[in-house]
A and B are shown apart, each in its own frame.
Chain A
Amino acid sequence: MKRLSLTPYVIWMVLFTVVPMLLVLYYAFTVPTEGGTTWSLENFTRFFQPIYLRVFIRSLNLAVISTLICLLLGYPAAMIMAGNAFKRKHVIMLLFVVPMWMNFLLRTYAWLTILERNGFLNSLLTFFSLPRVNILYTNGAVVLGMVYNFLPFMVLPIYSVLSKIDKGVVEAAGDLGANPFQVFIKVILPLSLPGVVSGITMVFMPAMTTFVISRLLGGGQFTLIGNLIEQQFLVVGDWGFGSAISVVMIVVILLSMAVMSFFEGEEKDVALW
């Protein structure tokens, strides 16, 4: 009976996860030849050329910066939401969640009109007789777009863990002589690590692979790894190379998750959502 009830999920997983994964692997490790295909590592050796590695490093760089900014903005926000300073915490929570109800593309397009040469931001700056800025189509704009879109994924897991910390533990630390700063460093921060790890993972992964944000706000000048993969499939038509880059990305993400779960330590059983 139990086995039977699992069937729909197994079918789903096979159809939409296992088969596509196998296809990606197949394309990654083969090259087309006359009259068929042959096994080869050529797609991978091609990736490890400076031109593509530079794209990879740039993606990694922007993803790390975006993740750090999300963490620096998100942790205090989560603390405020989990704390008692505000009576209407759910309003703050809503402010974080409402943008997520809107279409991702629309949200990113909105930034386009804000940052444009004659957009909202520059009109505002002109109004206050300040020099105009050209943020659009820079790395800064891409990072801004990533932080804006992925911040909730940092805030929510941290908030979830923080709000479950027993107030008694915080009081106990104070009772034992710890000042508020020591309470934070020695008790709250270590107890909230699982949420931080989860938040970092949930921001870093989409930031590493996004191609929409970089194309809209980066204007295509700053090709990221996601754009590279997209191009191979939709423009160039080289499915083999596109698949190989995807495989590299999967390995990188799995490795980073392994590192994260090492830091997460023994708190694996904490439910985050």
Chain B
Amino acid sequence: MVSEIIVQLKGVSKYYDDTPALTDVDLYIRKNEFVTLLGPSGCGKTTMLRLIGGFEKPDTGTITFNGQDIGNVPSHKRKVNTVFQRYALFSHLNVFENIAFGLRIKKMKESVIREKVSRMLELVNLQGYEKRDVNSLSGGQQQRVAIARALVNEPDVLLLDEPLAALDLKLRKEMQHELKNMQRQLGITFLFVTHDQEEALSMSDTVVVMKDGEIQQIGTPEMIYNEPVNAFVADFIGESNIVDGIMRQDYLVEFAGNLFECADSGFARDELVDVVIRPEDLALMPPDQAKLKGVVRSVNFLGVHYEMIVEGADGTEWLVHSTLMEPVGTMVGLGLEPMDIHIMKKVRA
């Protein structure tokens, strides 16, 4: 079931002192979707969030919310709430009053406020913390207060600006699950900003990959991972081997001094392309059975698998993930299926 569009950006650009932070961005977000903006720092993802939150105004383009233009609506009049990166809790108020802040602004009845706040404390697992000073809480607890403070207002869209960046790995994993559960439970649209590709893939319905103020690809986590549109996305989403290749004809590509069958077509004859191969798609095999050969230069044990760097005859270094291991200095062959060779148009540099 495809639900209706709640937030839409059309041709939106934003400049900070002539430096573009976002250039001509188009994006729509559907109701109840968990959308993640993913990209390296400085890619414009936080700027996009701040535009939707109303903390910045777009220089060009329109932002609509439920079909209405909100480009000039100040943040306090938007039905959007934000969880800030550094939490931004009110240090002069206790946990209860922090969460109740938005409700008090709306002048709700004391009994209603009590009920709503206690329901929120339950949701974020902080029952009994009402009277606590927010400065005395741990990072994870402060984070939960920040989430509760935003969610208690029942926003149509919740914006989350790298909310888990300051937490340690274990807590981060826990919070990822909890956030995803909350989103399903409450049926609120989440717009989540992160630079952590794993986080993006595991939580989202839709991932928006950004770079230098432009959207590179929009799609489901599976689409983004399996069918990256260019070498940047491939490299940013998981590790990849990216080498230069030449498309000799449909379904036939030349790289590393050999011709390989592949699953891609539609390129010009002899077009220069990027060839992307995931390290887990390269299989170790005896050298005489493979077109790709090389010498193992390093071996790293990473728990589930080994990470090896294999140097080919032409000097190309191949990153290989495998549960098998060959010692350093061994000549090995690297096997790969046509399906696993991803051909991408060269991004004009």
Contact = CB atoms under 8 A, between A and B. Distances in A.
Contacts of A179: 76
A187 B85 CA distance: 19
Interface residues of A, number: 19
Contacts of B251: none
B101 interface: yes
Contact of A175 (B82, B90, B106): B82
Interface stretch (A19-27, A49-57, A124-132, A166-174): A166-174
Interface string A36-80: 000000000000000000000000000000000000000000000
Contact of B81 (A176, A178, A267): A176
B91 interface: yes
B90 A169 contact: yes
A169 B77 CA distance: 17
Contact of B102 (A166, A171, A177, A266): A177
A177 B106 CA distance: 8
B75 A175 contact: yes
Contacts of B74: 174
Contacts of B44: none
A190 interface: yes
A175 B76 contact: yes
B105 A178 contact: yes
Interface hub of A169, A187, A190 (most chain B Cβ within 10 A): A169
Contact of A191 (B80, B86, B91): B91
A182 interface: yes
A209 B105 CA distance: 44
Nearest to B105: A177
A168 B88 contact: yes
Nearest to B79: A177
Interface string B59-78: 00000000000000011110
Contact of A166 (B82, B86, B105, B133): B86
A221 B186 CA distance: 74
B49 to A, nearest CB: 11
Nearest to B100: A176
A174 B90 contact: no
A171 B88 contact: yes
B76 A177 contact: yes
Interface in B84-100: 84-92
B76 A178 contact: yes
Contacts of A175: 53-55, 75-76, 80-82, 150
Contacts of B53: 175
Interface string A154-174: 000000000000101101111
A172 B76 contact: no
B149 interface: yes
A234 B76 CA distance: 63
B75 A171 contact: yes
B335 to A, nearest CB: 52
Contacts of B133: 266
Nearest to A267: B92
Given A190-B92, A191-B91, A191-B92, A174 B86 contact: no
Interface string B131-159: 00100000000000000011001000000
Interface in A169-212: 169, 171-179, 182, 186-187, 190-191
Given A168-B86, A171-B84, A176 B153 contact: yes
Nearest to B92: A190
A187 B90 contact: yes
A174 B105 contact: no
B88 A172 contact: yes
A176 B88 contact: no
12 contacts: A168-B85, A172-B82, A173-B101, A174-B76, A176-B101, A176-B150, A176-B153, A177-B76, A177-B77, A182-B105, A186-B101, A267-B92
Given A175-B53, A175-B76, 12 more contacts: A171-B75, A172-B84, A172-B90, A175-B150, A176-B150, A177-B76, A177-B102, A177-B106, A178-B76, A178-B101, A187-B90, A187-B92
Interface of B: 53-55, 74-77, 80-82, 84-92, 101-102, 105-106, 133, 149-150, 153
